[in-house]
Amino acid sequence: MAANKAVAQAVGGEGEEPRLKLGEKIALVIGSAPNTFHYQIIQMYLLFFYTDVMKISPAFVAVLFLVVRILDAAIAPFFGAFLDKVKTPWGKYTPWFVLLGVPFGIVGWLTFTVPDLGETGRLAYAVVTYTVYSVFCTVITIPSNAVVPVVTRRLEERITVGQLNFLFIMLGALLVQVGVVPLYKALGGGNDARGFSLLMAAVAVLTVLLSIYQSAKVKERYAIETKKDEKPPSLKQMLAATFTNKYALILYVYIFASAISSGIRSGVQIHFYKYFFDNESLMALMGIVALIPTLFGVAFSQRVIRRFGLKQTVVAGVIANLATCPIFLFIPANNTGLIIHIAVTCITSLIGGFGTPAQGAMMPAAIDYTEWRSGLKLNGFMSSFNGFIQTFATALSGAIAAWSLTLIGYVPDVEQSDSTLFGLRVLVGVLPAVFGAFAICMLWFDLTEEKQKRIFRDLSERRNQQQTHTESGGM
C-alpha cells in the first residue's frame, strides 16, 4: 500500500504548470513510428535484402554490420554532448527533429535501392549507404529522448507520454511486421528490388513530414539558460556523472540485453518462417498476433504500474520473456507448433505491454537523478547512450545472426537441411534468452516513486532559486 501511495503522490506533479495538451503529447512521440519503422526494417529485413535481393554473401554482411555499427555507435555520446552544449535560436532539442529527420528518410530509401553498378559497385554502394544510414539511425532518437525532461516534470504525464510513445512504436513495428512483405511484393510486381525501393521512398516522405510537424509543435518549457561566464561541463565530467549513476547503468544494461535479444531473433525471423513453417507471410500474421495483446497491456499499464510499481512491472516482462524463449526448441513444424508459437507470443506481449510505458519514465528519472546529484544537466549526453547501446546491440546482433546463418549452413532459396532448421530454432529461441538474461538487472533499480517525488521537488526549488538569482542580476 505504501508503494501505491507513493505512486499516486509522485504522479501528481505538485506545483507543475501547465499540463501538456494531448496534441503536444502526440507531437512529442509521433516520430517514434517512422523511427521504429527504420530500426525494425534494418533488424528484420536488411539482412534478407542484402542476401536474397542484392545477392551479397552473409559473411560480407556480417562484417559490414559489425564494423560499421560499432564505429557509428561511437558517434552517439559525442553528438549527445554536442546537443547539451549548443542551443539554436529555435530551441535546444526540437530543431534537430528536422535536421536529422530529413536526411534520415532519404538515406533509408537509398539503402533499400539496388543500383545497376555490377557486383563490385553494389558492394561499395551497400557499404556507403548503410554507413550513412547507420549514423542517422544511431542519433535520430537522441533529441526526442533528451527533450522529455524539459517538456514535462510530471511523472503522470511522463507515463502517459510513455504509453503514447509505445503506441507509435508499435504502429511503426506493425507496419514492418505486417505490411512490408505484402507491400514490397505488390509495389514490385514480381521485382523485389523495385518493391523495396518504392516502399522506402514512401516511408522517406512520411519521415520528413512528421519531423517537420514535431519541430513545430513541441515546446521546451524547463530549459534553463546557461550563464555567459559559466563553462559547459567537460567530457570527463559528463562521463563521471553518468557512469556513477547506478540507475543509468542499470537501464543501459537492460537496454542492451533487450536490444541484442530481440535483434538476433528479428534478424532471422523471416528465415525461420520461410524455411521452418514454409510461409514467409507469417511475418504479417505474427505482427498482428503480437500487437493485440501488447496494446491491451499498454491500455491497462497505468493501473498495473499503480498497483505493483514501475520496477516490478518491468521485471515481470523480463521473466516472462526468458521463461518462454526455450520453447522454440521443441515446437514442431506444423499447425500445432504454430499454435504454440502464437500462444507464447500472446502471453509475452501482454506482460511486456504492461511494463513498456514504465520504461519510458525510467530514463527521464535517471536523468533528473544525475542533475539532482551532480548539478549537471545531461539530457542529450545521457540519452545518447541509449542510441549508442541500441546501435552497438544492433551491430552485434546483426553480425551474430549473419555469421550464424553461415555457421548453420544456410543457403538462400533452397530447401534447408535438418541441421540448418535446428540451427534456426536455436537462433530464435535459445540465443536471445542467453543475452536477454542480463535484463534481470532491473531488480536492482530502486529509484522508487517516492524518491522521484523528492527529486522533483528539490529540482524545482533549485530552479526557482536560480531563476530568482538570474532575474536579480546575480546580486
Query: What dotted CATH number matches 21-222+232-471?
Result: 1.20.1250.20
Residue 4's pLDDT is 44
Query: What is the length of the chain?
Result: 475
Cα 288 from Cα 282, distance rounded (Å):
10
Q: What is the pLDDT of residues 220-278, one digit of tens each?
A: 776 655 555 556 777 788 888 888 899 989 999 998 998 888 888 877 888 888 888 88
Q: What is the pLDDT of residues 373-389, one digit of tens each?
A: 888 878 777 877 776 78
Q: What is the pLDDT of residues 45-81, one digit of tens each?
A: 888 899 888 888 888 888 888 788 777 777 877 887 7
Instruction: Determine if the peptide bond prior to 18 is cis (ω within 30°).
Output: yes
pLDDT band at 13 (very low <50, low <70, confident <90, very high): very low
For residue 168, pLDDT beyond 80: yes
pLDDT band at 145 (very low <50, low <70, confident <90, very high): confident
Question: How high does pLDDT run on average in the chain?
Answer: 82
pLDDT band at 470 (very low <50, low <70, confident <90, very high): low
pLDDT band at 466 (very low <50, low <70, confident <90, very high): low
Q: What is the pLDDT of residues 279-323, one digit of tens each?
A: 877 877 887 888 788 888 888 887 888 888 878 888 998 899 888
Residue 146's pLDDT is 77
The mean pLDDT of 108-133, rounded to a whole number, is: 90
pTM of the predicted model over 0.75: no
For residue 2, pLDDT beyond 50: no
The mean pLDDT of 106-125, rounded to a whole number, is: 90
Residue 38's pLDDT is 92
Residue 347's pLDDT is 92
The alpha carbon dihedral of 465, 91, 168, 437 has a sign of negative
Q: What is the pLDDT of residues 177-216, one digit of tens each?
A: 778 888 998 998 888 889 999 999 999 999 999 999 988 8
Residue 10's pLDDT is 43
Residue 364's pLDDT is 81
Cβ atoms of residues 58 and 194 within 8 Å: no
The mean pLDDT of 145-171, rounded to a whole number, is: 78
